[in-house]
Amino acid sequence: MVHTASPLLLLLSLALLAPSFSAKQCLLTGKWTNDLGSNMTIGAVSNSGEFSGTYLTAVTATSNEIRVSPLHGTQNRINKRTQPTFGFTVNWKFSESTTVFTGQCFMDRRGKEVLKTMWLLRSSVDDIDDDWKATRVGYNIFTRLHTVKE
């Protein structure tokens, strides 16, 4: 009896577990890298959706030496979605400029987390007449950063 029952129990438990796999939560907390090789670390997301972290860019529009820069953002938690939207601001520590990112945390078809984002980069200009050219727009895709140590 035991031998015939156990495969059935296995199937039953798999069926019960399956919905929780497909509803897996995409979490912002952790280390991420994007298609340009920039890295960011996001800390814990508070109950109200606030988070902070650090951003290390691989590219810069300036000739200044790149430095780690702080980021502050919020995740939308209105319906506690498994694929939440979010936004954050990076306050660049090596140039007079600011970037805002907005995006969504997705589970891709293989169950891997991916952040699809767009950004606006505001650079400082000395003259108001140069305002028209002071903002760049871009698109970045982030995946979890796995280092050899992990």
CB of 52 to ligand NAG, least distance (A): 19
Q: Is 75 in the site for ligand NAG (CB under 6 A)?
A: no
Q: Which residues in 12-51 contact ligand NAG (CB under 6 A)?
A: 33, 37-39
Residue 143 CA to residue 27 CA, distance in Å, equals 11
Closest to ligand NAG by CB, 66 vs 125, is 66
Name residue 9's beta-bridge partners.
none
Count of H helices and E strands in the chain? 1, 8
CB of 58 to ligand NAG, least distance (A): 4
Closest to ligand NAG by CB, 25 vs 91, is 91
Closest to ligand NAG by CB, 41 vs 85, is 41
Amino acid letter, 49: G
Q: Is 56 in the site for ligand NAG (CB under 6 A)?
A: yes
Give the closest residue to 52 by CA, choosing from 81, 104, 90, 79: 90
Identify the residue whose tokens are 């891997």.
112
Within the chain, residue ranges assigned H as helices are 2-22
Out of 4, 20, 22, 147, name the contact with ligand NAG by CB under 6 A: 147
Phi, psi of 4 (to 5 degrees): -85, -30
Closest to ligand NAG by CB, 8 vs 148, is 148
**Total residues contacting ligand NAG (rule CB under 6 A)?**
8
Residue 104 CA to residue 84 CA, distance in Å, equals 6
Closest to ligand NAG by CB, 63 vs 147, is 147
Binding site for ligand NAG (CB under 6 A): 33, 37-39, 56, 58, 145, 147
